[in-house]
Amino acid sequence: MDENLLGSDKELEKQLETNIKKGLTTEEVTLKQQKYGKNELPKGKITPWYLIFLKTLVEPILLVLMGAAVISIIAPIISNKGHIEASEFIDAIVIFSIVLIDAILETVQTIKARKSMDALKSLSKPKTVVIRNDMQQEIDASELVPGDIVVLEAGKYVPAELRIIEANDLSIDESILTGESVSVDKTHLALKESTTILAEMKNIAFMSTFTTSGRAIGMVIKTGVETEIGKIAKSINENEEESTPLEKKLNSFTYWISGLSFILAILIFTTLFFSGDQKAWANYLMVAITLAIGVIPECLAAVVSITLSISTKKMVKQHVIIKKLQAVETLGNVNFICTDKTGTLTQNKMTVKKMIMDNKIIASKEYAKEKNDNHMDLFLKALVLCNDSVTEGSERIGDPTELALVDFAETIGYDEQDSRDVWQRIDEMPFDSERKMMTTVNTINKVNTAFTKGAIDQLLQRCSKIMIDNVVRDITEEDKKILLESANELSKDALRVLAFAYHLNYDKLKDKSDLEHDLVFLGAVGMIDPVRETAVNAVRLAHEAGIEVVMITGDHAVTALAIARDLDLAHSEYEVMTSNTLNQLDDKQLLRVIEQIKVFARVNPEHKVRIVDALKQKGNIVSMTGDGVNDAPSLSKADIGVAMGITGTDVAKQASDIILTDDNFETIIKGVNEGRNVYQKIKRAIAFVIGVNLANVLAIFILSVINTVSPLEATNILWMNLIVESIIALSMGMGSNDPTLMKIKPIKGKNSLFKGLGYTLFKIILFTTIASIGAYYFGMMFVTEDYLKEILGDQYNPSLSWHQALRSNEYSVEQKIEIGDFGRTAMFVTITCAPCFYANFIKLSNWKADKKINLIINKPLWIASMIAVLVNLIVIFIPGFNEKILNLASVNSYNSNNWYLILGALGISLIPVIFMLLLDAITFLIYHYKPEPWRRNRILAQELVELDIQNEKRKRRSKKKPS
């Protein structure tokens, strides 16, 4: 701790070259402004829209797609020896269009979510009162310099870091910085001991905190970036933006798929070159490049962006603003949520929960239902009259504890402003930290009545009587013992106890110092910043989803643990760690225990960053939730930062990835559900696209090796990839969410995008490859001798079958392609229609969780599938397009002997979906009804453990219920 806290006023005056009484002169201010600069916070970085757009274009997946587009232009030029038709550019145009759409979507979403103003600057209020040139004057807060003398009043923001040199009943709300919900009483006295905990720096007023009561004079010791909030702002700006887990996985996937396509191209070209006619190398190169491009999922970037975009629109309706598309998926993978207490899990509003009345503890709600007698009347008057807070509409000025008293009195019908107008204050003794009491005198029915509030132990020393059951009698030692025991019981539950008393002897007093003697004890209240009811349910849902919730707060450990118990977060002091303990641990020691701690108390902003960093080092996906300036660095550091939209500061919103517009912790869990479904939909689309592409490439490769000529043309593959595949893959992201995903525990650590897709990919590749090859040979059954003679003319050899003709080097590539028209047509029908049939049955949902089959119908996908099948059948019969562009059998080639070729191919297209459903049914039945012995035992053990946990929770809840 520096000398600014420990030094005397005279030492500070000398050090900062100022005069406490007269302030700085104009000349001194000018010199200091040149030295220290303006009292402004560093501005947040704002990236221009064009840089966002360009940055999007250089993402790996889009670079590979653009490379594929360029190759798709070069390949036909090589194949056709420089001659190229306009139709050859179709694939390149489509790919470039997909790249452009994806980049535009990403840019628009980022700009829509970004704040247009400088969030940090808005926190510093523009005007402040200072003493300069031996006179008070109002100046812009940005003009303050170290050594300035600032005048503070209730309801004003602190304009810079101040060392308090005079104070009168000064309280400051520092929750924005420390997270502590109760206002801090400040003093002008120098601290006796060093401290690094902001909440314990009692003689410092921190920049951007709020003065709730009293008046003070302070000396500016730090300005701008040197203040605590300035340090936080600087750390936010210095944090480099990390890629989200989805971005990392997609980048890794891109490298993998690029390498695979390159290897395939070499393998296919080499195989065809050495097994076929080496003179046709240009054609083989074209086939190799075409198949390599066929592996690359051109539509994937658009699928991901559109799926995420659809989800962000859904989440806006659920009160969630997504600043970056990929943040949706990251939220779905979160397995640790670190959350601030004040305003996030709690209401950030002190509330009366318990009462000590008639020597008993009763709930405040029960007390409010009681009959309004003389005792209640006096007690409620004490609450509102011995009180300086004011509420009017949404305006709330005053200490949070006093506001809580006013709120409680209003629930029973006592308005503080009306009460003060009727029963006017004629005298008072303000609160003093030494007396720990406050007294006011009000005229009630022409009787001057004194009301006193304060710490119960101090107040009982001044009481000679007590009101019990509406009767005033002498207070006994037994009464005091009961009251103190009751207060201790409330304190154990982290309730702040405040007691009230009165007397009618004001007119008989000879000295004002006797005002707080011979009092009649009325009762006491227990207050706390209560948990949000929705937060309790949200924590329960998080635990069910396998997500650990960690509470990080500036409050004391006792208060934090009490709140954690109400939330079912933690139940013993061993799960709580204070900042003192945290400071004593090195990084390795912290890593060993970090996942066992559920509550961190009395923490500073830098502690929050350290906690988040430690959890991330353990392989966790960490979300940080908060609303204050003190949360901003950790919001920025976390994998996913979640800020509160209503109570949250602009700093927190700027540092976050997601903003909750309803400040409801439960909304985060809705976001997790949406994120998990988004990720599942993306994985499903990837499984579909990669599975179909690999199946097509494998089938073409096998048939090319057998026949020395590709069974399909580049345009066939292009049609499949960019028309059919894209339509279906995009519609996969438009379906309803699967609620069972919230029963799955997130997988810890770095996981491949293909984790869990092996079985699905195996089914798609195996059955689609078999069906495609089968369809080709089915089509080639319709190649007759007359058909071969018509194509080969004088070169026709009756002894050669169509298969032998394809392998012969005597015929040109063009002739071989024409021979395969029927096989190509049948195979085209199968590769384009089979995916439309089984796309609706690719399930990656939690089918292991329940014996009941969870049917989720994706209407857009069904409609897209039917449209795709219809379009595929139509193009087969469009004269010119079918034979000139797609190289399929012409309409004129169908006759009475081959009319059922298309119907047969459609029938073969159903084979993959039939076998997939059959295999899934067998797997499902075996898993649920014939489990292996080891898995059956594990299930039973898990059920017993869960039963024990539920019984333990019921016992704890029953103990907490009042008798």
Distance, CA of 639 to CA of 330 (rounded, Å) = 7
Distance, CA of 382 to CA of 377 (rounded, Å) = 9
Which pair of tokens denotes residue 264?
């395939």
Pairing type for strands 351-357 and 360-363 reads antiparallel
DSSP 651: H
- 432 labelled catalytic: no
H/E element, 13: helix 9-15
- Helix ranges (DSSP H) in 339-475: 364-368, 374-385, 400-411, 416-422, 456-461
Contact 312, 496 (CB under 8 A): no
- Local structure of 961: helix, strand or coil: coil
Q: Per-residue b/e over 75-103, b at no fewer than 16 CB within 10 Å?
A: bbeebeeeebeeebeebbebbeebbeebb
Distance, CA of 759 to CA of 280 (rounded, Å) = 39
Contact 500, 379 (CB under 8 A): yes
Distance, CA of 82 to CA of 98 (rounded, Å) = 27
- Local structure of 929: helix, strand or coil: helix
The answer for residues whose C-beta is within 8 angstroms of residue 837's C-beta and 6 or more apart is: 865, 869, 909, 910, 912, 913
- Bridge partners (DSSP) listed for residue 660: 320, 644
Q: Residues 91, 169, 173, 340: which is the catalytic one?
A: 340
Contact 778, 904 (CB under 8 A): yes
- Bridge partners (DSSP) listed for residue 500: 453, 523
The Cα-based distances of 747 to 464, 545, 744 in angstroms read 65, 11, 9
Distance, CA of 889 to CA of 876 (rounded, Å) = 8
Contact 654, 628 (CB under 8 A): no
Distance, CA of 835 to CA of 868 (rounded, Å) = 10
Distance, CA of 314 to CA of 321 (rounded, Å) = 10
DSSP 124: S
The answer for residues whose C-beta is within 8 angstroms of residue 508's C-beta and 6 or more apart is: none
First to last CA, the chain: 49
Distance, CA of 427 to CA of 761 (rounded, Å) = 83
Distance, CA of 288 to CA of 262 (rounded, Å) = 9
Q: Work out the number of other CB atoms within 10 angstroms of the CB of residue 825.
A: 29
Contact 390, 420 (CB under 8 A): no
Residue type, 331: L
Instruction: Show which residues are catalytic.
Output: 340
